[in-house]
Amino acid sequence: MAQEDLLKKIIAHSKEYGFIFQSSEIYDGLSAVYDYGQYGAELKNNIKKYWWDSMVRLHENIVGIDSAIFMHPTVWKASGHVGAFNDPLIDNKDSKKRYRADVLIEEHLAKIEAKIDKEIEKAVEKFGASFDEPQFRATNQRVIANQEKIDVIKKRFVAALEADNLVEIKNIIEDCEIVCPISGSKNWTDVRQFNLMFETKLGSVTDEANIIYLRPETAQGIFVNYLNVQKSGRMKIPFGIAQIGKAFRNEIVARQFIFRMREFEQMEMQFFVRPGEELKWFELWKATRLKWHNGLGFDPKKYRFHNHDKLAHYANAAVDIEFEFPMGFKELEGIHSRTDFDLSQHQKFSGKKMQYFDPELNENYVPFVIETSIGLDRMFLSILSNAYDEETIKQEDGKTDQRIVLRIPPELAPVKLAILPLMKKDGLPEKATQILDELKYEVNCIYEEKDSIGKRYRRQDAIGTPYCITVDHETLENNTVTLRNRDTMEQERIPVEKVKQIVVEKTSMTNLLKKVN
């Protein structure tokens, strides 16, 4: 199957069978926002449980928190999000290229600067050892003229940035006659502000001073609670804090289904370690996280590491775990060695000591941090694209037949068991309901009596239900049912009393957790 088609099919299938709906669909939808339906919500919860239990339950030194989405605005100044991600953007209408308006102006300034440098270079050659640069800068007419230009532009530019005056920024670009490097034209759009973070107002009275942000990452909720957790939990380094929660990014465009959404969910763990030991832990978490993915039993070739050559200013090592989505290998999880950047920043901005006293070393330090951060929605999509299968079946009479089956790992499947009376009469529905009433306390069950048995099996395949039991006349005689396996379509006859044991055993999260521990 062509890969583009696969994504389309997954989107259609997700909608048809109640996994994912577009947000506000009856109002024409809301771009890049999606809702999880009845089976989607179940699957998502199971993924969360797999992650949470493997992190928090299986590691004595990792605890989980649930911090608020709203945080003090200074958090985002400290983290660098306020300064670094408010970019004024401008498009050239001819080349269709987009630029950061501030970068265009800075490059223009650099060009003038280069002219001055050239003058100085020439002068150095001319005057040799007796060259006096400050004096030359103060007297040379061309240098003075260019320096004046720079000063004037800089002054306007700084004032415009401070006042958030986008019109003035465009005026500067026009006045400087800055051209697009590709088209060479000055045919610019207006300057628009790109804000990564969603803003909202705290309090019922609208007031500029009360702007707060919807968090663009959950990590900061962990960092601001680092001291609370460390002290109240008497945590000793190395230790980790895990969290699952929503984050919000106002992307310019956000497409490819749930791969990039404006509102999304992250599963993050920040692991605090001794300075100098971070790279050892980085390697350990790389291996641990890949093992977690492979625990699901999908083709290992679908996962790969991608090393970051260009590191963010706060990181000294970074790697992505990429998954082969229908649209190619894309980031699924990031593992970053974040140094002591975040805690140090918060120490600086809050004035609170973020240091840890290490009794073994008998010294204080700001811990270094290894972060593992995985997109829950991306994880969901990776499971769907791994699981979606169109299978051609050869029937006994030689005809071929197609079935669509979601081969979701049984431990994560939204519904574990379907209970089906073979016929809607002769007391079979009553018997089936009886069984349902017992088993619904153990696993998520579905009861269905409509349509032929084959049709019902196929419907369960389509939502990935690993097991179906069918109640027939023999059940009434000897209390046995047929147990039908989703993947093999094979059936076996078993006593009703054994159903619980078999299904619980095959679908329990414990299976996965034991594999990855």
Partner RNA sequence: GCGGGAGUAGCUCAGUCGAUAGAGCAUUAGCCUUCCAAGCUAAGGGUCGCGGGUUUGAAUCCCGUCUCCCGCUCCA
Q: Given the complex with RNA, which of 141 and 400 has the nearer CB atom?
A: 400
**What's the token pair of residue 30?**
């809301």
Q: Which helix (H) or strand (E) holds 192?
A: strand 192-195
- Least distance (Å) between residue 427 CB and RNA: 13
- Least distance (Å) between residue 488 CB and RNA: 8
- Least distance (Å) between residue 490 CB and RNA: 6
| Cis before 326 (ω within 30) | no
Q: Given the complex with RNA, which of 152 and 182 has the nearer CB atom?
A: 182
Helix (H, G, I), strand (E, B), or coil: what is residue 92?
Answer: strand
Q: What is the DSSP letter of 259?
A: G
Instruction: List beta partners, residue 408.
Output: none
Query: Residue 194, Cα to own-chain centre: how many angstroms?
Result: 20
Q: Which helix (H) or strand (E) holds 493?
A: strand 491-495
Q: Given the complex with RNA, which of 92 and 386 has the nearer CB atom?
A: 92
Q: Given the complex with RNA, which of 230 and 373 has the nearer CB atom?
A: 373
Q: Given the complex with RNA, which of 96 and 291 has the nearer CB atom?
A: 96
CA dist 95 and 183 (Å) reads: 5
256: left (phi > 0), else alpha (psi -120 to 50), else beta? Answer: left
**What's the token pair of residue 119?**
């003058």
- Least distance (Å) between residue 355 CB and RNA: 25
- Least distance (Å) between residue 341 CB and RNA: 12
Question: Contact, 503 vs 439, CB < 8 A?
Answer: yes
Q: Given the complex with RNA, which of 124 and 393 has the nearer CB atom?
A: 393
Place of tokens 């107002």: 201
Q: Which residues bind RNA (CB under 7 A)?
A: 4, 7, 12, 15-16, 22, 28-32, 81, 84-85, 91, 96-98, 189, 194, 196, 216-217, 249, 251-253, 255-257, 260, 312, 318, 327, 334, 336, 393, 395, 401-403, 422-425, 450-455, 457-458, 470-472, 481-482, 484, 489-491
- Least distance (Å) between residue 38 CB and RNA: 14
**Helices 509-516 + 38-52 axis angle, to 10:** 40
**What's the token pair of residue 357?**
């006293």
CA dist 467 and 443 (Å) reads: 11
- Least distance (Å) between residue 339 CB and RNA: 14
- State the maximum Cα–Cα separation within the chain, in Å, rounded to a whole number: 113
Q: Given the complex with RNA, which of 22 and 345 has the nearer CB atom?
A: 22
CA dist 245 and 266 (Å) reads: 6
Q: Given the complex with RNA, which of 141 and 402 has the nearer CB atom?
A: 402
> Which regions of 79-173 does DSSP assign to beta strands (E)?
86-91, 98-100
- Least distance (Å) between residue 283 CB and RNA: 19
- Least distance (Å) between residue 217 CB and RNA: 6
CA dist 23 and 275 (Å) reads: 45
213: left (phi > 0), else alpha (psi -120 to 50), else beta? Answer: beta
Q: Given the complex with RNA, which of 230 and 270 has the nearer CB atom?
A: 270
